[in-house]
Amino acid sequence: MFANLDFEIIARTLPYLFLEGMTFTLMLTALATLGGIVLGTILALMRLGSLPVLPKIAAGYVNLMRSLPLVLVIFWFYFLVPYLGQWATGASRPMQVGAFASCLITFTLFEAAYFSEIMRAGIQSISKGQVGAGYALGLTYRQVMSYVVLPQAFRNMAPVLLTQTIVLFQDTSLVYVLSVTDFLGAASKVAQRDGRLVEMYLFAAVVYFAISFTASMLVKRLQKRIAIIR
């Protein structure tokens, strides 16, 4: 069954797979995670705010993003962003937006909806007594959130945030539909070029599993270390 398999193709293409493909995947994951957490925190604060309009806007955005398939959102932003840029700048033609920029915008906006729910749960896990104590000390709402609530919320939600980042790392493989050279895209190009689909896709699966499983074990260790005994 395995007599015709040539796993030497993996060794010959490792520099291309990791220096170009995996570099793109990890960079997209890191930047989208950072942007998603920042935007997600803002959305969480909007949903927990007392203003009558902002919670509804934030809730509508979160529900919309969580109701759409990610691959559809990728296509949508890839074709829509150039026209949004044209409208914003008043240019005569659609703006040339690179594939990386389009992917980064897509994943940041999409993942922000999930990070928002995580952060909202983290903020709500902080007792109201601590918030009231902050106000009693004369702190403003912004200071209470910055110095009392958010630091503890991030601590409580760190394992869940990292778990969502692992999911994001796996989801980045969907940029393959845009012919972007991420890790899976690089493996696919080699597979198609040399006719070694089984070897390359099997190797890609092993790499994704190894990275995701190792990261999951690290998250579990982190969760035990930062756990607060009540």
Domain spans, the chain: 10-226
The vertex-16 CA angle with 72 and 194, nearest 5°, equals 85
CATH topology of domain 10-226: MetI-like fold (1.10.3720)
Residue 3, CA distances (Å) to 6, 120, 135, 194 in order: 8, 54, 72, 17
Least confident window among 25-34, 74-83, 106-115: 74-83
Alpha-carbon gap, residue 176 to 204, rounded angstroms: 13
Report the predicted TM-score, pTM, of the whole model to 2 decimal places. 0.88
Cβ-proximal residues to 49 (8 Å cutoff; 6+ apart), any chain: 55
Contact call for residues 68 and 77 (beta carbons, < 8 A): no
Alpha-carbon gap, residue 11 to 144, rounded angstroms: 54
The predicted pLDDT at position 1 comes to 46
Is residue 2 over pLDDT 70?
no
